[in-house]
Each structure stands twice: as structure tokens, then as C-alpha cells.
Amino acid sequence: MKRFIETLKNIWRIEDLRQRILTTMGLILVYRLGTHIVLPGVDPSQLGGLQQQSSDGIMGLLDMFSGGAFSNASILALGIMPYISASIIIQLLGIAIPYFQRLQKEGESGRKKINQMTRWLTVAITTAQGPTYLMNLHNTIPESAFVLKGVYFTLSSVIIMTAGTMFVMWLGEKITDRGLGNGISLIIMIGIIARMPVSLIQEGASKLEQQGGGMVMLLVEMILLFLVFVASIALIQATRRVPVQYARRIVGNKQYGGVRQYIPLKVNAAGVMPIIFAQALMFLPMMLGGLGKSESAGRFVTAFADYTGFWYNLTLALMIIIFTYFYTAVTINPTQMAEDMKRNGGFIPGVKPGRKTVEFLDTIMSRITLPGSIFLALVAILPTFAMLIGVQPNFAQFYGGTSLLILVGVVLDTLQQIESHLMMRHYDGLMKSGRIKGRTGGAAAL
């Protein structure tokens, strides 16, 4: 406890770190206030139907990602998900279209162009999703709740929600630039944490109402939650190292010395991105079907709107495995690694430099990515199993899925940045046993 208090004092002594923490907290406070500002023309006292609809299932996921803004009919109702969807599309285009590939290789100028395209695509996606959200709003709350009606209300609300999403994106960028951690990741994490106290209270109340063994079951649930939390940390930090022998020539003579080093190859190199990609795409059938609540929704849309259904979870798991391989291929380039190794005079024992080294690294990555992707998919569908054993839907979200992985990953990345500031000023780190490892060894991956 004494060491913890001393660490807090050291954090406060570092002016730059103190300013970053205060800036981050201030911007997050602005975001949380915005989630409670209701759309103009909507009576906030009659939103019971919308809040009931988003209390569980896939609608609960949307509400969680928006930090409760979805169920509040807020100006920030669509949250940050349109931006994430736009980022997914741009990254996919970077694989298929040569123009985007050239932009990715142009450095800072190319990155600025890609960011600009992502912003415009975010506007387009938000503008398309806005009318769908309003359609669902009309289907779930009484008509008397709308002070304004007609084309004027629809047009003004879509413009306001689009501006709200862009404002959330701007807040995330400011947190990244002037605050602490990755802004987009922190905004999503805050939305998740905001629902945790209420979910825990509801779960405890439901267990108290049960006769015989309710509190014992609650204790078992908390132990299981802790074990899943530890397993998620292990998944995010898991690495596998392939030994590489570097031959370095000693300047001034013809002797050679061998120094054994390693190439760090992560079991989960993609981090939490595959589960976010897959989850964002799983929202599409529901959006296209009037958010899965309209009577005209077909069996296909209805099946994918069932958060606990077999087809929803099977599709989600398969997409996560596919996206894990895809994102790993994007972030790790065996050809570039082989070239860098050869340029520095390194080699893998028993493997010829050049094409053979590329094939060896590619094979190793394929093999170690498979268990990582399967474990990631399993963690993603754990909330369904939690609900099957009697856990309340809201509380079950914290047993896995996007919520738990984002929560763990963002906490680790933020703590790693704080530790870096402490170590640069020659203070003790946060952990006595060793350095904290984030998802990517640095900034968040979102």
C-alpha cells in the first residue's frame, strides 16, 4: 500500500504526465455529458421502450459501445461505431486496391490522406445509419414522445447525430494527441465501464431473490469472472519467440562472433481488432432489417439479431478467426522481416536466407496464429455460455466478448504509457515484478 501511494505521488510530480491525465479526464467527462443530451424534439421521459429494448442482446451491445447514448436517444447515439466501420473498409481497400497500397507506403502524407478518406466515409456511414436509428425509435416509443415530427425532425436529427459521431471521433483524436492512451479505445472502454456498476447490482439483486444457494452462485460467478480476466491478460500479452542467430563481423579483423537473439512473434498479433471488426459487421443485418425489431424482418435478420443464437455465435467465431489471420497478415510482413534480417547479417539456423526464410516465417506465423484466433473466438462467445448458466445478460457481457478484451487491453496500454513516463524520470515502475506489456508493445491497436 505504501508503494502504491508513493507511485501516485510520483505520477503527480511529473508535470507532463499530470497534464495528460487531467486532459484525458476532462475530455472523457465531456463525452459522458454528451451521452445524456437527448435529441431535440424527443421527450426524454418516454424513452422506457427504447431502454427496455437495449437492456440485453445485440441491442445491449450497441448501447454499451455508445456508452448508454443509444438508449438515451442522445445526440451521440451512434457513438464511435461508424468510424470503426469506416476504418475497417479503408483497411480492406488497402489490401485489394493498388492506390490505397501506395498511400500506405507514402509515410506521413499518405497517412493524412487515408485519415481524411476515413473521416468522409464515417460521415457517409453515419448519414446512412441515422434514418435507421430513427425508424427504430419510432417503433419502440409512443408517438406522443415526439415533439417534432415529419421531414424536419428526420433531417435535423440525422445531421445532429452525424455531427455527434464526428465530435466523438474528434475527442478521441485529442485524447490521443494531448492526453493519455489511445483516445478511441478509451472512449469505448468508458462506455463499457459505465454499465458495470448497474450490471453488478442487478446481478446481485437477482441472486438474492433466488432461494437456496443464490449467494454461493454469485461467488462462483465472481471467481469465474476473475479467471476469464486473467486469461484475457494472458491472451493479449502472449508471445512466441523464434530463435535467430545473428552473425556480426568484428571491425578490424576477420573473426566472426555469434550473438543469439530472437524474433518476437505474437500468438495474438492482431490484438482485439479482429473481434471489433467481426462485431461491427455483425451489426449490419440488424441495421438493414430495421434494427431487427420491425415485423418485416426476415428469418435471416431475426436469426442474426439473436445474440444467444447458434448461427450468430458460429458466424461471429468464424469471422474472428478469419479476421485474425487477415489482420496478422497486414501487420506482420515476413518478406520485410527476411530482408531486414539479411541486411543486418542475420539468419535462422538451418534455413537459407531469402525466399526460404520468408516461407519459414510465414509457416510459423500461420501455425501460432491458429490457436490464438481460436482462443480469441472462444472468449468472444463466452457471454452466451454465461447467460446459459443463469447470469444476467448485462453482467454476462463482462465474461468475454469485445467488452472484456477492450477493457483489459486499454488498461494495459494506458498503464504501460504511465510506466514509460515514470521510467524516463528514473522513478520506479508500476509493477515490482516487471514491466507491463501492452497489446502492441506501445500504443493501442484501435
Strands, E, within 234-290: which ranges? 239-249, 256-266
Are β-strands 256-266 and 346-347 bridged in parallel, bridged antiparallel, or unpaired?
A: unpaired
Beta-carbon neighbour count of residue 320 at 10 Å?
24
What does DSSP assign to residue 293?
Answer: T
pLDDT of residue 348: 79
pLDDT of residue 347: 76
Strand partners, 42: 146
Consecutive H or E run containing 172: helix 150-178
pLDDT of residue 395: 77
Please say whether the beta carbons of 71 and 54 come within 8 A: yes
Q: If we measure between CA atoms, which residue out of 308, 292, 178 comes closest to residue 300?
A: 292
In CATH terms, are 17-180 and 206-446 the same topology? yes
Please say whether the beta carbons of 228 and 400 come within 8 A: yes
Q: Which CATH class is domain 17-180?
A: mainly alpha
SS3 call for 3:
helix
d(CA 386, CA 393): 8
Segment 15-68, tens digit of pLDDT: 888 888 899 999 999 999 998 898 888 888 888 777 776 666 667 777 777 778
Given its phi and psi angles, is residue 170 left (phi above 0), alpha (psi -120 to 50 degrees) or beta? alpha
pLDDT of residue 243: 61
Consecutive H or E run containing 245: strand 239-249
Listed as ranges, residues in the chain with pLDDT below 70 are 1, 53-58, 211-213, 235-264, 271, 283-306, 400-402, 426-446
Beta-carbon neighbour count of residue 325 at 10 Å?
17
Please say whether the beta carbons of 255 and 357 come within 8 A: no
pLDDT of residue 400: 67
Segment 221-248, tens digit of pLDDT: 888 888 877 777 776 665 545 566 555 4
pLDDT of residue 373: 86
Please say whether the beta carbons of 425 and 445 come within 8 A: no
Domain extents in the chain = 17-180, 206-446
Residue at grid coordinates 489482420 = 327
pLDDT of residue 441: 39
pLDDT of residue 104: 77
Residue at grid coordinates 539456423 = 349
Give the three cell numbers for residue 119. 473521416
DSSP codes, 35-48: TT-BPTTB-GGG-H
For the question of whether the overall pTM of this predicted structure is more than 0.85, the answer is no
What does DSSP assign to residue 146?
Answer: B
Q: Which CATH class is domain 206-446?
A: mainly alpha
Q: If we measure between CA atoms, which residue out of 136, 93, 129, 133 comes closest to residue 113?
A: 93
SS3 call for 69:
coil
Phi, psi of 112 (to 5 degrees): -65, -40
Q: Which amino acid belongs to residue 190?
A: I
Give the three cell numbers for residue 305. 439479431
